Copies of this chain bind each other. A is one copy, B any other.
Amino acid sequence: MMSTTVSLQQKVLSENDRRAADIRRTLAEKRIFAINLVSSPGSGKTRLLERTLVALKDSLRMSVIVGDVQTENDADRLKRAGGRAVHPIVTGGACHLDATMVARALEHVNLDRVDVLFIENVGNLVCPASYDLGEDLKAVLISTTEGDDKPLKYPAMFRRSSIMILNKIDLLGMSDFDLDRVKANALRINGRLEIFDVSSTRGDGLEAWYRWLSGRVRAKRDG
C-alpha cells in the first residue's frame, strides 16, 4: 500500500506540474510577474500585501489570488486596501494551493491589465513547498516572533524560495530571536536567497522591497 500511495502522489504532483507549466506559459505570454507568497500562519503575508497595494497602486497593475482554508478575511482586507483584482480561493480544508485552483481563479482575471500577480498561499510552512503554481518565484516570509531556527526545521520551503522576507523587525529585542542567526540558518539551506528585513506595520525596509519588486516587474514586462 505504501508504494500505491507514493505513485499516486507522484501522479497528483506531475498533474500539478503540467498545469503549473500551462500557467507559467500564459503568464510569460502576458509578461506578468508572479510571486507565490508562503509562510506560517500569521507571519504577515496579508499585511505586506496591503502595504504594497497602497504604495504601488499608481505605478503597477496588481492582481492578487488569496488562498485560505476557510473565510475570505484576507481577500476582504486586500480589497479594502484598494486591491483592484482580488480573488479568494477557499480550499475548504486543503493545506495548500495547487495549480488547478490557481488556474480556475485566473479565469476571472483580465490578464491584459495586470503587471504583477501575487499568490498568497495558505499559511503553512510545509505543504505549499511541494506545489508549483506557475509562479516566477516563491517568497517565504518569516517573522521575528517565530524563532530563528525555522529555516533549519522547514528546509524545503527555504530551499525552494528565491527571496526571504524577514517581517516584524519592529519586534526585535522582545525575544531571543537573532537576526544574524536566522540569516545564517537560511543561507545554509539556500545560499542564493535574497533577504529583505521589513516591518509591515511600522514600514521599515519596505522601500527596498518596493524597488526590488518594481525592478523585477519591469524586467519581465520589457524583457
Contacts and interface: CB of A to CB of B under 8 A. Distances in A.
B12 A5 contact: yes
Which secondary structure characterizes the binding site on chain A? loop
Interface residues of A, number: 40
Interface in A44-100: 68-71, 73-74, 93, 95
A123 B150 CA distance: 10
A171 B172 CA distance: 11
Contacts of A145: 42, 143, 145, 168, 171
B124 A70 contact: no
A205 interface: no
Contacts of A69: 126, 153-156
Contacts of A8: 4-5, 8
A149 interface: yes
A34 to B, nearest CB: 23
Q: Which 6 A-B pairs have the closest CB atoms?
A: A42-B146, A95-B126, A145-B145, A40-B41, A40-B40, A42-B147
